[in-house]
Amino acid sequence: MTEFTPFVRKDMLEPRDPPGNQQGPIAWARENLFSGPMNTVLTLLGILAVGWLALHIIPWLMHSVWNANSLSECRAIIAQTWGPDATGACWAMVRERWHQYVFGFYPMDLYWRPTLAFLLMLVAIAPVLYQSLPRKMMWFTALYPFICYWLLWGGTLWAPIVVLAGFGLFALAFRFAAPKLGVPVSAGLGLLAAAVWWLFVQTPLSTALNGIIPLSIRDVDSDQFGGFLLSIVIGITAISASLPMGILLALGRKSDMLLVKSLSVMFIEFIRGVPLITLLFTASLLLQYFLPPGSNFDIILRVIILVTLFAAAYIAEVIRGGLAALPRGQYEAADALGLDYWQAQRLIIMPQALKISIPGIVSSFIGLFKDTTLVAFVGLMDPLKGITAVVRADINWKGIYWEPYIFAGTIFFLICFGMSRYSMWLERKLKTDHR
């Protein structure tokens, strides 16, 4: 009979590294680039395409010229430095005309006003984007649109103050009427009071106050706006105004009140069924016919209104999708807590729906900001088509093609990429599940 001697290991074995073909770049390439015949062929074709582009783009960028007064001078410098057959980018155009891309035809001695408005905008949106900042900063956020308008367009300071007083009148009417008449009726009365104030009291009162205490700065016409100043003004205003309008339209479409639901559905479907360029032509040409004779409705303001309505219809559908994704138990929980409709929407329903809808909302915002280039079709100088056409019409830069579009496209990419990165950060921050 064979005897067995038990063996118990006293020391742990040192861990060994996995084989080289199962970790590191080789394993990643095998799994992602060469996992099969089709993937291998596509990878090789992609490498060939990237290599072909690099062979043409890198020398063009390496031969860039930053100091020149014309395109012909750029080409002469490239030929003298890298040979007669060399090609290169002429970024001297950007160096000479950057102020038009940024400010359009805004007076150069007043560049401090849009610059100050932009810096104040960063302060105003900070408490909206980052919840850790003091909530008292929201007061400045509410006042910023009036400050920005006065800085950009100029004129008397009393005009935005009197307009702001109309919103104060709406708030007072809503506050005193809401306990007795309910939210919808009170909101209607507040809007009526504010509309009467803006239509019949605003202009005479601001003119009288400016005559007593003149507080004004130099006026700037809307046709002097252009470049990224115009795109940011239209884009940021439309983004800020379209989100609350989209929320109301989404709630209206899901409302049990037939009239409210019907009006919301008709508005959303009509706006979504019409191209944006059609609405811009309406703002530029047709809207003036419906105004009283002699009225002067600023073209940029008309464009902002129509772009805002267009974006609100799309955002309403995005938010409606978020509302539809919520389980019925959330509504029942709000009813069990004894909350009325508006309290339930503000505290329980809408925060969850907005969190679900963040990707769609930000996608709509990015598309809206890029669509601001369409204002070129109504005579406004956007940075991509309007300002580029002006620059290329100059005899010194006639014939330049790629550089202005690459420069404007890069700025658009940086802004839109920043919006998408913030969206992803906000999604991670608001993520409550651990899956």
Tell me what the mean pLDDT of segment 338-358 comes to: 85
Confidence (pTM): 0.85
Q: How far apart are CA 331 and CA 348, in angstroms?
A: 8
Tell me what the mean pLDDT of segment 259-265 comes to: 89
Q: Which residues contact 71 (CB under 8 A, 6 or more apart)?
A: 90, 93, 396, 397, 398, 399, 400
State residue 231's pLDDT score: 92
pLDDT at 115 over 90: yes
pLDDT band at 112 (very low <50, low <70, confident <90, very high): very high
pLDDT at 16 over 80: no
State residue 292's pLDDT score: 62
Tell me what the mean pLDDT of segment 131-151 comes to: 88
Tell me what the mean pLDDT of segment 125-129 comes to: 88
Q: Which residues contact 422 (CB under 8 A, 6 or more apart)?
A: 129, 362
Q: How many Cβ atoms are within 10 Å of 6's Cβ, its own excluded?
A: 4
Q: Which residues of 208-245 are buried (b: 16+ CB within 10 A; e: fewer)?
A: ebbeeeeeeeeebebebbbbbbbbbbbbbbbbbbbbeb
Our separate counts of H helices and E strands in the chain read: 18, 2
pLDDT at 329 over 80: yes
pLDDT band at 232 (very low <50, low <70, confident <90, very high): very high
* Burial class of residue 58, CB neighbours in 10 A (0-12, 13-18, 19+): exposed
pLDDT at 151 over 70: yes
Note whether 232 and 223 are within 8 A (CB): no
Backbone dihedral region for residue 328 (phi beyond 0: left; psi -120 to 50: alpha; all else: beta) = alpha
Tell me what the mean pLDDT of segment 6-14 comes to: 71
DSSP state of 17: P
Q: Which CATH fold would you assign to the domain 97-154+218-290+298-430?
A: MetI-like fold (1.10.3720)
pLDDT at 116 over 90: yes
Query: Using alpha carbons only, what angle is made at residue 382 by residues 376 and 384, rounded to the nearest 5 degrees?
Result: 100
Return mean pLDDT, the chain: 85
Return the closest-CA partner of residue 152 out of 262, 81, 232, 254: 232
Q: How many Cβ atoms are within 10 Å of 294's Cβ, its own excluded?
A: 5
